[in-house]
Chain A
Amino acid sequence: MSVSRKHMIANMLGFNLGAVPFMYLGCPIFHGKPKAIHFRTIIDKIETKLSTWKGTVLSIMGRVQLVKSIIHGMLVYSFHIYLWPKRLLRLLDSWIKNFIWSGDVLAKKVCTVSWSVMCRSWAEGGLDIKSTRLMNEALILKLAWDFRTTESQWTAIVKRRYFTHGQPIMRYCQSSIWPGIRAHLGTIMANSVWVVGTGENINFWTNNWLGDPLVDLLNLDIDFHAHLKGTV
Chain B
Amino acid sequence: MNGALRLPAALTSVADIQTRAHEIVLPAGNLPDALVWIHTTDGKLSSKQALDYLRPRALTLPWAEYIWRAAIPPSHSCIYWRLNHNKMPTDENLRRHGCTVVSICSLCLSTDESSDHLFFRCPFANHLWEWISNKLRCSINCSTAGTLLDCRPFQCSSQVSDIYLAAVVHTLHTIWWARNSLRFLEVTPTLHSAKVCIHSFIAMSGNVSTGKCLPSDFVFLDSFAVSPHRRMVRDIVLVLWKTPTAPWLKVNTDGSVIGGYAACGGLFRDHSGTFRGAFVCNIGTHSVFYADNGNHFCN
B31 at the A/B interface (Cβ < 8 Å)?
Answer: yes
CA separation between A210 and B10, bound complex, in Å?
17
Q: Please indicate the chain B residues that have their CB under 8 angstroms from the CB of A148 in the complex.
A: 35
A183 at the A/B interface (Cβ < 8 Å)?
Answer: no
Nearest CB of chain B from residue A127's CB, rounded to whole Å: 8
Nearest CB of chain A from residue B135's CB, rounded to whole Å: 27
Nearest B residue to A230 via CB reads: B8
B245 at the A/B interface (Cβ < 8 Å)?
Answer: no
Determine which of A65, A139, A196, A217 lies in contact with B24 in the assembled complex, contact meaning CB atoms within 8 Å.
A196
Contact A195 B87, beta carbon cutoff 8 Å: no
Determine which of B27, B55, B84 lies in contact with A134 in the assembled complex, contact meaning CB atoms within 8 Å.
B55
Determine which of B1, B11, B34, B65 lies in contact with A122 in the assembled complex, contact meaning CB atoms within 8 Å.
B65
A112 at the A/B interface (Cβ < 8 Å)?
Answer: yes
Contact A197 B30, beta carbon cutoff 8 Å: yes
CA separation between A224 and B37, bound complex, in Å?
27
Contact A110 B64, beta carbon cutoff 8 Å: no
Contacts A124-B61, A191-B39 given: A112-B87 contact, CB under 8 Å? yes
Contact A202 B33, beta carbon cutoff 8 Å: yes
Within 8 A of A (CB), among B184-242: none
Nearest A residue to B89 via CB reads: A111
Contacts A113-B82, A194-B36, A198-B31 given: A214-B50 contact, CB under 8 Å? no
Determine which of B11, B46, B51, B89 lies in contact with A110 in the assembled complex, contact meaning CB atoms within 8 Å.
B89
Contact A192 B37, beta carbon cutoff 8 Å: yes
Within 8 A of B (CB), among A190-229: 191-202, 209-211, 214, 217-218
Contacts A123-B64, A141-B50, A142-B47 given: A194-B93 contact, CB under 8 Å? no
Nearest CB of chain B from residue A210's CB, rounded to whole Å: 5
The stretch among A3-11, A35-43, A56-64, A157-165 that forms the contact with chain B is A56-64
Determine which of A125, A130, A142, A201 lies in contact with B61 in the assembled complex, contact meaning CB atoms within 8 Å.
A125
Q: Please indicate the chain A residues that have their CB under 8 angstroms from the CB of B268 in the complex.
A: none
A145 at the A/B interface (Cβ < 8 Å)?
Answer: yes
The stretch among B13-21, B252-260, B270-278 that forms the contact with chain A is B13-21
B156 at the A/B interface (Cβ < 8 Å)?
Answer: no
Counting chain A residues whose Cβ lies within 8 A of the other chain, the interface size class is 35 or more
Determine which of B20, B54, B74, B99 lies in contact with A210 in the assembled complex, contact meaning CB atoms within 8 Å.
B20
Nearest CB of chain B from residue A206's CB, rounded to whole Å: 14
Contact A61 B54, beta carbon cutoff 8 Å: no
A167 at the A/B interface (Cβ < 8 Å)?
Answer: no
Contacts A59-B78, A137-B54, A191-B39 given: A210-B88 contact, CB under 8 Å? no
Contact B45 A209, beta carbon cutoff 8 Å: no
Q: Please indicate the chain B residues that have their CB under 8 angstroms from the CB of A113 in the complex.
A: 81-82, 85, 87
Contact B59 A60, beta carbon cutoff 8 Å: no
Determine which of A119, A192, A197 lies in contact with B27 in the assembled complex, contact meaning CB atoms within 8 Å.
A197
CA separation between A130 and B56, bound complex, in Å?
11
Contact B24 A209, beta carbon cutoff 8 Å: yes
A138 at the A/B interface (Cβ < 8 Å)?
Answer: yes
Contacts A124-B60, A149-B35 given: A199-B1 contact, CB under 8 Å? yes
CA separation between A64 and B88, bound complex, in Å?
17
Contacts A124-B60, A210-B24 given: A217-B17 contact, CB under 8 Å? yes
CA separation between A191 and B45, bound complex, in Å?
11
Contact A139 B50, beta carbon cutoff 8 Å: yes
Nearest CB of chain A from residue B50's CB, rounded to whole Å: 4
Nearest B residue to A80 via CB reads: B47
A135 at the A/B interface (Cβ < 8 Å)?
Answer: yes
CA separation between A209 and B35, bound complex, in Å?
9
B295 at the A/B interface (Cβ < 8 Å)?
Answer: no
Contact B45 A145, beta carbon cutoff 8 Å: yes
Contact A191 B38, beta carbon cutoff 8 Å: yes
Contact B85 A125, beta carbon cutoff 8 Å: yes
Q: Please indicate the chain A residues that have their CB under 8 angstroms from the CB of B1 in the complex.
A: 199
A120 at the A/B interface (Cβ < 8 Å)?
Answer: yes
CA separation between A192 and B34, bound complex, in Å?
10
CA separation between A117 and B81, bound complex, in Å?
11
Nearest A residue to B55 via CB reads: A134
Contact B85 A117, beta carbon cutoff 8 Å: yes
Nearest CB of chain B from residue A138's CB, rounded to whole Å: 4
Contact B35 A59, beta carbon cutoff 8 Å: no
Q: Please indicate the chain A residues that have their CB under 8 angstroms from the CB of B81 in the complex.
A: 113, 125, 127
Can you list 12 A-B pairs, Cβ within 8 angstroms, ordered by A?
A62-B74, A110-B89, A113-B81, A124-B64, A135-B51, A145-B37, A145-B45, A194-B36, A195-B35, A196-B5, A197-B32, A198-B30
Seen from chain B, the residues whose Cβ lies within 8 Å of a Cβ on chain A are 1, 5, 11, 14, 16-17, 20-21, 24, 26-27, 30-39, 43, 45-47, 50-51, 53-61, 63-65, 68, 74-75, 77-78, 81-82, 84-85, 87-89, 93-94, 97-99
Seen from chain A, the residues whose Cβ lies within 8 Å of a Cβ on chain B are 59-62, 64-65, 109-113, 116-117, 119-127, 130, 134-135, 137-139, 141-142, 145, 148-149, 188, 191-202, 209-211, 214, 217-218, 232
